Amino acid sequence: MHNRLKNIYVSIDKCDVFADIGCDHGYIAKAMIVDKKCNTVIVSDISEKSLSKAKELLKDEIDKGRALAFVSDGFDNLPAVDSALIAGMGGKEIISILKRCEKLPEKLVLQPMKNCDLVRKTVVNIGYKIVSDKMFKDGIMFYNVISLVKGKDRLSEDEIIFGRTNLNSYNADFSEYLKSEIVKTGKYIENGASGTEKERLEKKLELMKKYVDDK
Ligand SMILES: C[S@@+](CC[C@H](N)C(=O)[O-])C[C@H]1O[C@@H](n2cnc3c(N)ncnc32)[C@H](O)[C@@H]1O
């Protein structure tokens, strides 16, 4: 498994019925069942072609009835699950999937490729609390993995932008991310950002410097 998938995998708790929404290759689903981290695994993908990879990987488990495979848009037409993963999709797609779901699982692990701030705001609004929200690096890319359980929560503006766990405990990858973002943001400003965009970037820069200095 790639480092990105390993980081996601360790964030998923043991459960009864687990669904990997947008599973594509199905590696996480396979590990969940092989490691006995769940009793039943559901692999689903909107693309039949993508799902066929997971079906091939999980052939034995499907034959034994321990894995079920569905072509599905998000949770549409899936049986109820107690835990689900949505990884490797844009934040807006993840939000649309969650908002359409009639029976949301007790636990969720999300790994949005972008718009993490919008995802954070949405999950809290639809009744989840943050268990952990941290950044990790794989190769040259930075990713966020957000673990949630149903409950009440309230996020500060900074937590919405950066992720609570990153702010509350030292994370070398997050620190590296901040340093590189400070350089990038400084360049955008120098290269002629103006008006409200300049104000927004300056505010972000100040905030990032504050967190780098705090560590
Ligand atoms: C980049 S892959 C990520 C695969 C895997 N989850 C991972 O993190 O490595 C995104 C997958 O999500 C699927 N997908 C996109 N939108 C979806 C939706 N609304 N419902 C289900 N699957 C979706 C795509 O077909 C694709 O297989």
pLDDT at 27: 98
Residue 97 Cβ contacting ligand 1 at under 6 Å: yes
Is the pLDDT at 104 greater than 90? The verdict is yes
What is the model's pTM?
0.95
Report CA(197)–ligand 1 centroid distance (Å): 32
pLDDT in tens, 156-193: 999 999 999 999 998 999 999 999 999 999 998 999 88
Domain extent listing, the chain = 3-167, 174-214
Residue 26 Cβ contacting ligand 1 at under 6 Å: no
Residue 22 Cβ contacting ligand 1 at under 6 Å: yes
User: Which DSSP state fits 72?
Assistant: -
pLDDT in tens, 193-210: 889 989 988 988 998 998
Residue 77 Cβ contacting ligand 1 at under 6 Å: no
pLDDT at 210: 87
pLDDT at 126: 97
- Reference 109, options 30, 192, 7, 182; nearest CA is 7
Residue nearest to atom 1 of ligand 1 (CA): 88
Task: Select 3-167's CATH number: 3.40.50.150, 2.40.50.140, 2.40.30.10, 2.60.40.420.
Answer: 3.40.50.150
pLDDT at 32: 98
pLDDT in tens, 56-96: 999 999 999 999 999 999 999 899 999 999 999 999 999 99
pLDDT at 64: 96
Residue 24 Cβ contacting ligand 1 at under 6 Å: yes
Q: Which residues of 9-32 are buried (b: 16+ CB within 10 A; e: fewer)?
A: bebbeebebbbbbbbbbbbbbbbb
